[in-house]
Copies of this chain bind each other. A is one copy, B any other.
């Protein structure tokens, strides 16, 4: 899927800034613009590149609170009903099913504490949410590195 170093260089550059033009990338890595365009097209078609997005600062658009909610849903039917209803929760920006006591971990953005309380109430219909409020972001959306670390994996 990622065939060679050119592919990796393209991925690196797009992870840094997805608005780089084909021409800019071509100058950076030493391929022609059309070759770069073809490779990006291929990586998109193969879903190596899932999407290109702009990251918005939640605080600047009215969401002053961020939190992780771990969510224990013991009843499988309720779990399925929650997944069907997840669109009703625009606060949820990330949601993964995980091993352990809690079956879901979610990242949510909120206007304020009242909003958080409201969300917790609405979630409680399906299971037992447990909230950890984010105090500060240390790292967000870090780039994937070519997986050959110096470290011993």
How many chain copies? 2
The B-contacting residues of A in range 55-99, CB under 8 angstroms, are 55-58, 60-63, 66-68, 83, 86, 88, 90, 92-99
Contacts of A96 in B (CB 8 A): 66, 68, 134-138, 140
Contacts of A9 in B (CB 8 A): none
Chain A residues with a Cβ closer than 8 Å to the other chain, count: 72
Contact across chains for B142 and A61 when beta carbons are under 8 A apart: no
Contact across chains for A94 and B140 when beta carbons are under 8 A apart: yes
Q: Is the interface of A mostly helix, strand, loop or mixed?
A: mixed
Contact across chains for B48 and A95 when beta carbons are under 8 A apart: no
Q: Is A109 close to B, CB under 8 A?
A: yes
Contact across chains for A15 and B53 when beta carbons are under 8 A apart: yes
The contact sample of 13 A-B pairs, CB cut-off 8 A, is A1-B61, A15-B54, A17-B53, A19-B19, A48-B57, A50-B57, A63-B147, A68-B98, A86-B138, A90-B149, A93-B139, A97-B137, A118-B151
